């Protein structure tokens, strides 16, 4: 939601998609089957996970044999950590790496299975997160409902440019300061 508040055009586009899909079905609420038709919403979630992965580093690995990587000698039994946060913000891998641009996922098809090593929000290989399908379903459905039922603004007419996007340091990523928003009902039937 923080990135959507900072990028109102992105929020407007995502809300438009969510509301259109539900309206076209003649329904009054978002359910799981609707999410499959919300391509842009899925791109918003992917982009949020690119900029703000659940954990800045993946689980540590241990080398099984001696290796040379980019001129560095790595002896066997060395603990290796992969910095997903840095990979996801690397300008050599991503155009406009520091910007929230969900449209990048409309043209490039990245999945969460760890096949493309520049997009690793849930890890890769044997230690990939087993809860990916459940976690994504929860996030996508909740975000779709928040966007369907409400318009959002900062309290007291605060300016989006002043929104502090600092993240707390820790094993998982979270905002340093809680996000406070004002929900404005979009439909009269609320």
| 43 is known to lie in a ligand binding site | no
Give the Cα separation of 140 and 118 in Å (integer): 22
Give the Cα separation of 53 and 172 in Å (integer): 8
Give the Cα separation of 83 and 168 in Å (integer): 16
Q: Strands 67-69 and 72-74, how do they pair?
A: antiparallel
Burial profile 150-160: b = 16 or more Cβ within 10 angstroms, e = fewer: bebebeeeeee
Q: CB atoms < 10 A from the CB of 89, how many?
A: 15
Give the Cα separation of 50 and 100 in Å (integer): 9
Which segments are annotated as binding site? Answer: 129
Which segments are annotated as binding site for heme? Answer: 129
């Amino acid at each position: 939601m923080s990135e959507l508040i900072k990028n109102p055009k992105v929020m407007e586009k995502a809300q438009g998609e969510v509301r259109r899909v539900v309206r076209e079905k003649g329904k009054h609420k978002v359910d799981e089957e609707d999410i499959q038709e919300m391509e842009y919403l899925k791109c918003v979630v992917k982009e949020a996970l690119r900029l703000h992965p659940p954990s800045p580093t993946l689980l540590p690995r241990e080398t099984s044999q001696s290796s040379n990587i980019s001129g560095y000698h790595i002896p066997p039994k060395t603990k290796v950590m992969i910095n997903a946060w840095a990979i996801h913000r690397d300008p050599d891998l991503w155009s406009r790496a520091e910007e929230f641009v969900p449209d990048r996922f409309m043209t490039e098809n990245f999945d969460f299975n760890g096949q493309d090593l520049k997009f690793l929000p849930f890890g890769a290989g044997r230690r990939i997160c087993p809860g990916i399908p459940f976690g994504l379903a929860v996030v996508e459905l909740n975000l779709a409902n928040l966007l369907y039922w409400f318009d959002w603004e900062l309290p007291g007419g605060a300016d989006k440019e002043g929104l502090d996007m600092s993240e707390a340091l820790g094993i998982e990523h979270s905002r340093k300061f809680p996000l406070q928003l004002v929900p404005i009902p979009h439909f009269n039937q609320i």
